[in-house]
Chains A and B, each alone.
Chain A
Amino acid sequence: MERVRSLPLTDPGTPPLTGPVAYLAWQARRQWGILTVGALLGVLMFSCQAALPYVTGHAIDSGLAHGFGADLWRSAAMLLGLGVVSATAGAVGHRYDVENWLRASFAASQLVGRRVSHSGHTITAELPTGEVVSAVANDALRIGEIYHTSARFIGSIVAYGIAAFVMLRTSVSLGLIVLLGLPTVAVCIAALVKPLQRRQAAQREASGRLTTLGSDTVSGLRILRGIGGEGVFTARYREQSQLVRRKGEDVAVTQSWLDALQVLLPGAFVVVLIWYGAHLAVAGEITPGQLVQAYGFAAFLSWPVQQMTYTVQSATRAHVGASKVLNVLRVVPATGARPGTRPMPPAHVPLVDEVSGTVVTPGRVSALVCVDPDASAAVATRMARFDDAAEADTPVRLGGELLAELDKLAVRERVVLAEATPQLFSGTLASELDVHGTRDAERLLHAITLADAHDVLDSVPDGLDGELPEKGRSLSGGQRQRVALARALLLDPEILLLVEPTSAVDAHTEARIAARLAEARRGRATLVVTASPLVLDHVDEVQLLVDGRVVATGTHAGLLARTDAHGAAYRRVVGRDLDEMTPPHGVARVGDDDPIAEEAFDELLQDEPAGARDRTGGRP
């Protein structure tokens, strides 16, 4: 049996981004070999199937004319032979169809995967997450579909040709009835599909709302069970569920008419055919076997006709799918779209944000404090270069060189930004901590100690080898933050920028982390954006940012003790004298996942992708 070439390919190639048709043609060229084999097998299978009614009719005639004898045996053997060849060609052809489908759709998924992995945040800025995920979950599969159906499409055309030839030779009028009647029936039925689709869409919409209601109710279940209101919600769900049911019944009405017409139209067609054929047979113009042939062809040909309409639909879907995939592939990263133009400065040089005057000095742990935590976070972010166009007016220099003119990956290697809303990824705890896979277990445990994250080891079964679920969802907000901190510390970069690294942890833990953090970063350059006194007390130097400028620099104790306006400003940020109830520091949106949006989204992905589960192999 043919072995399917292993996927994904090492190189998915570079597709043209000009348009969907160019993209689809490019993909076809990349797999023209298997497309050709698939098409040949399709032709073979359909030809065998087309020959079956012919041979059957012949067998009946020979049985009538010569009784049980060599002629009948020959026909039977031919029938069996055709069946075996058709079954084999069908099975091998199905393998090629699936390979064609997988090759094309996996290539698209792979290209999207690569783009997403290297685009940075531009992808999120330019496209909604749902659309990007849907490019892989749906659109890539739809692209594959057209390569999957192509073989059967070609086979169908050939089969139709064969049937036409045989029928027209038998009787021109009978042949014309079969060949023109069937497409007419197909067109009539297709015309009736529109109203059905409208009602189906109405039901889908109602059903989507029902799913939202269901997941809304369940997402808020803790609240419902805590304070009541379950009755109201189940009643509401029931009401919508009954609405969906009624819409479903509307669909059933239209659908059942369509089903009935699918009986009536081909049935009427066959009745006319038999009536006309029987008269020809009575008149002796055709044999009884040929009458059976005509009936057999009429039954058989509805299959290729279906295949052809199906192919037209898949072509439309592939076109739409390709344009959606192209939307993702066209995203250009906001940073480092062009290669660096200046050489990297030597190691251990300061990183300076010119507009604010913030300086990250080699060998020091600094803190950046601002009354507006967003403003200080923004400074730290641009010091790590995240948007070349937007940061053009706020130059940042590493050892005198403009950051924007350096090679991006080289910058990322030396300057690492750990943001306030860090993202964890699914995978083993060890591999998620050590993202470049270069540290040993001892270093991992050391980093975990630094981030005071030993409780994470206990809460993940199997410790370091334990699996974190998607986005580290099983961990609490505070645990996620500490894992992210350990991950950043493990990178051990020359310059580390930490934004609110301890905003979601309790005071006990924060105090311990702060003490260890300063120790761990000794000798390297570090900037911590924070307003927590527990952290500030352990840094070498604090820079106070007011209205976008660093106005004062000193130790935590020194700034607290200052009697001028800057001292007062500093105390206002870090002290308790402004408002007793204010948590002493910054933005922490660690746990702000919107469960509804997320689940509705997950649900979207669960929609069966078209063509993904074609188990019948396109059989009638």
Chain B
Amino acid sequence: MKLPIADSATVRAYTAYLLRAHLRPLSAIAVLHTCAAVLGLAGPWLLGRLVDAVADGTTTGYVNALVAVGAGAVLGQTVLTRFAQRSSMRFGEMVFADLREEFIETVTSLPLSTVERAGTGDLVARTTNDVNKLQNAVRFGVPRVIVAVVTITLTVVACLVLSPLVAVAMFVGVPVMLVIVRWYLRRATPAYLRESASYATLNGTITESVEGARTIDALRMGARRQARVEADLREAFEAETATLNLRTVLFPGVDFAFITAPVAVLLWGGWLVSQGHVTIGVVATIVLYTYQVSGPVWDLIFWLDEIQVAATSLARIVGVRLVEPDREVREGTPVDEDLRARGLRYAYREGHDVLHGVDLDLRAGERLAVVGPSGAGKSTLGRMLAGIHPPTGGTVTVGGVPLVDLPLDELRGHVALVTQEHHVFVGTVADNLRLAAPGASQEELRRALEAVDAWGWVCALPEALETEIGSGGAPLTPAQAQQVALARLVLLDPHTLVLDEATSLLDPRAARHLERSLNGVLEGRTVVAIAHRLHTAHDADRVAVVDGGRITEIGPHDELVAAGGDYAALWRSWQHESA
């Protein structure tokens, strides 16, 4: 299952909402930048006045006065720039912080079934890559676009105010520029996305080669891996060439449009001067303005381009908000702790049922082993029984209430799913445990750790319960990590546990130790154990054989062996070989 990506209308609506929500600071920033930009126009204007003054013959006093005005303008612009830049950067920081916090909040409240099925890879990529890609655009892009737009507008306005007659000439290149920039921007986003994707592929290939260096060596894959790197480089080269070709049109096109402005202003202005309509100083000022405006225009083109690319990341971030809730809390209080499945069906894709009407009654306190070949639907059944996925058909109830009708907090108190996946969170051992019971006391934490046989090594850590673990902290072995996960379960204290091959990926010595820890958790609970290995089945109260999405055999181990079905055959071969 793939997580949704927002379409451009949704992204636009979200952006508009963000802008509206921050209208006030945004306007304040625009005003500050406008004032700064107005003062920034002083230079060429003064120069024009000086040219005229010198041409007409003037005094040094007048020159000094004009220059003093210029000095004042520079000082004013300095102060205004300082405040405008500070407030716009602060604004960028604030908007970006809001955005990422809101995103994490959305992600952490995603429906259980979405999290299970979409996996975490895509979400992690959105949390790291997309959020990071967006940050340039939000933190720097937005303020820079404001500055550029304000500066361009004011420069044009200044020219028009000085002399609308002369100023019209400066627009001669604008149509060409608009056509070229539009042409470029339409093609730029896919081209730059292809470029960054090609580098990501290259980096992925190198990562694979380094991590799989032994396999490459063992299977004589060196030449092939080298060819792969070279193919990736070729794709990167082609992507680079494609963007280069776009720029080969953009750069000279825009440059050319820029040079037409002073040329046209000089000629047209020169004629107007000769006719006595304007002074040469005004023409000089407007010529200088046409040079000066090229900087902000390039800035604007660059950032529009960046923002377009960032919008694709925003689409992925906003997309997470589009996930619909998978359940609705309804009335109902479970009358007892019995878990019951009736006519259970599930399809990941419509029309492709993985489970075909499973009925199952769990007795409180029993241990049920679920065995069967890969792909038979064991794990799917487990997830239904734990209330992770709302079933496509049929129900799973606890004490008469469908699991998916329960509020999440309550569901967690009834049944929990334990998988081979374990994750140690960044934080202290206590932080890691308190997820399950935020108010748990030190004593309770100790008892939970003792129950899983982990108190010993936790005490041996430098700061015991307060030791930082997880990425960057004290390293835990996979078995220790699994024990932390089990201790959490003890604190959570559900009456039913669904174990999905919880220990199958551990090495045998660790697994042996862990099984003891596990026993501490299972004590007194109803347990559904999905198992690879037959010894688990042998020790269970009942065994369910799942094949092709159905329970084909169910009963105590001895009865099934006596019945002579599939299970009996498998058991015999295993028994025979190891006895």
A220-B423, A585-B508 given; A83·B50 CB < 8 A: no
* Contact B234 A8, beta carbon cutoff 8 Å: yes
A26 adjacent to chain B (CB < 8 Å): no
Give residues of chain A (216-234) contacting chain B, Cβ–Cβ below 8 Å. Answer: 216-234
| Cβ-based interface call for A508 (8 A) | yes
Whether A507 lies near B532 (C-beta < 8 A) is: yes
- Kindly list chain B residues whose C-beta atoms are within 8 Å of the C-beta of A212: 426, 471-472
Q: Is A168 an interface residue (CB 8 A)?
A: no
Q: Which residues 55-70 in B have Cβ within 8 Å of A in the complex?
A: 55, 58-60, 63-64, 66-67, 70
Q: Which residues of B contact A56 (CB under 8 A)?
A: 262, 266, 287, 291
Give 1 or 0 for each of B412-444: 1 = CB within 8 Å of chain A CB. Answer: 100011011101011100010011101000000
Binds A, one of B216-224, B356-364, B553-561: B216-224
B531 vs chain A, min Cβ distance (A): 8
Q: Which residues of chain B are near A419, meaning CB under 8 Å? A: 214-215, 218
The reply on B331 being an interface residue by CB < 8 A is no
> How far, in angstroms, from A598 to B123 measured CA to CA in the complex?
13
- Contact of A68 with B273 in the complex, beta carbons under 8 Å: yes
Query: Counting CB contacts under 8 A, is A574 at the interface?
Result: yes
A270 at the binding interface (Cβ < 8 Å) = yes
A288 B505 Cβ-Cβ under 8 A: no
Query: Which residues in A have their C-beta under 8 angstroms from that of B574?
Result: 507, 533-534
Closest Cβ neighbor of A63 among chain B residues: B270
- The stretch from B83-91, B159-167, B453-461 touching chain A is B83-91
A347 at the B interface (CB under 8 A): no
B466 CB within 8 Å of chain A = no
B125 touches A602 (CB 8 A): yes
CA distance A579 to B516 in the complex (A): 11
Alpha-carbon separation in the docked complex, A437 to B529 (Å): 42
Given contacts A60-B284, A279-B60, are A7 and B94 in contact (CB under 8 A)? no
Which of B44, B79, B205 has the largest number of chain A CB atoms within 10 A?
B205
Is B552's beta carbon under 8 Å from chain A? no
> Considering only CB atoms and an 8 Å cut-off, how many residues of chain A contact the other chain?
194
In the complex, are the beta carbons of A506 and B81 less than 8 A apart? Answer: no
Is A378 an interface position by the 8 A CB rule? no
A118 to B115, CA, bound (A): 40
B224, closest chain A residue (CB) = A435
B86 adjacent to A120 (CB under 8 Å): no
Tell me the bound Cα distance from A114 to B233 in angstroms: 12
Which residues of chain B are near A237, meaning CB under 8 Å? 101, 104
* Least distance between A283 CB and chain B CB atoms (Å): 9
Is the Cβ of B412 less than 8 Å from the Cβ of A616?
Answer: no
User: Could you tell me if B219 and A435 are in contact, using CB atoms closer than 8 angstroms?
Assistant: yes
User: Across the interface, which residues of B come within 8 angstroms of A473, CB to CB?
Assistant: 121
- Where chain A touches its partner, the secondary structure class is helix
In the assembled complex, which residues on chain B have CB atoms less than 8 Å from the CB atom of A373? 507-508
User: In the complex the two chains form, is A98's CB within 8 Å of B577's CB?
Assistant: no
Residues of A contacting B74 with CB < 8 Å?
263-264, 267-268, 270-271
With both chains docked as a complex, state the minimum distance between the C-beta of B346 and any C-beta of chain A, in angstroms. 17
Determine the distance from Cα of A259 to Cα of B77 in the docked complex, in whole angstroms.
11
Residues of A within 8 A of B578 (CB): 533, 574-576, 584
B127 in contact with A218 (CB, 8 Å)? yes
Partner pick for B508 among A221, A506, A586, CB 8 A cutoff: A586
Contact indicator B219/A238 (Cβ below 8 Å):
no
Establish whether residues B229 and A218, one from each chain, have CB atoms under 8 Å apart when the complex forms: no
Whether a CB of chain A sits under 8 angstroms from the CB of B240 is: yes
Q: Which residues 297-325 in A have Cβ within 8 Å of B in the complex?
A: 299
Q: Is the pair A416, B218 in contact by a Cβ cutoff of 8 Å?
A: yes
Q: Check if B463 is an interface residue, CB within 8 A of chain A.
A: no
Report which of A236, A244, A616 forms a contact with B97, defined as CB distance below 8 A. Answer: A244
Contacting residue for A255 out of B83, B89, B273, B305, CB 8 A: B89
Q: Is A609's beta carbon under 8 Å from chain B?
A: yes
Contact between B423 and A582, CB atoms less than 8 A apart: no
Given A244-B97, A508-B570, is A288 in contact with B108 using a C-beta cutoff of 8 Å? no
B419 — nearest CB in chain A belongs to which residue?
A: A222
Q: A470 touching B535 by the CB < 8 A rule?
A: no
Asked whether any CB of chain B lies closer than 8 Å to the CB of A33, the reply is: no
Stretch with Cβ within 8 A of B (4 or more), from A14-22, A36-44, A89-97: A89-97
A537 CB–B CB distance under 8 Å: yes
Give me 24 A-to-B residue pairs in the complex whose CB atoms sit less than 8 angstroms apart, sorted by A's number: A64-B280, A75-B266, A80-B260, A91-B251, A113-B206, A118-B222, A133-B203, A137-B206, A213-B426, A216-B470, A224-B435, A237-B104, A249-B93, A259-B85, A264-B78, A288-B280, A412-B218, A423-B212, A487-B219, A583-B508, A583-B532, A584-B578, A596-B471, A612-B199
Excluding A136-B203, A299-B291, 20 further A-B contacts by CB distance (< 8 Å) are A79-B263, A84-B256, A116-B210, A116-B225, A123-B213, A132-B206, A133-B203, A214-B127, A220-B423, A221-B123, A234-B108, A257-B82, A291-B51, A386-B217, A508-B374, A581-B535, A582-B508, A583-B535, A606-B129, A606-B133
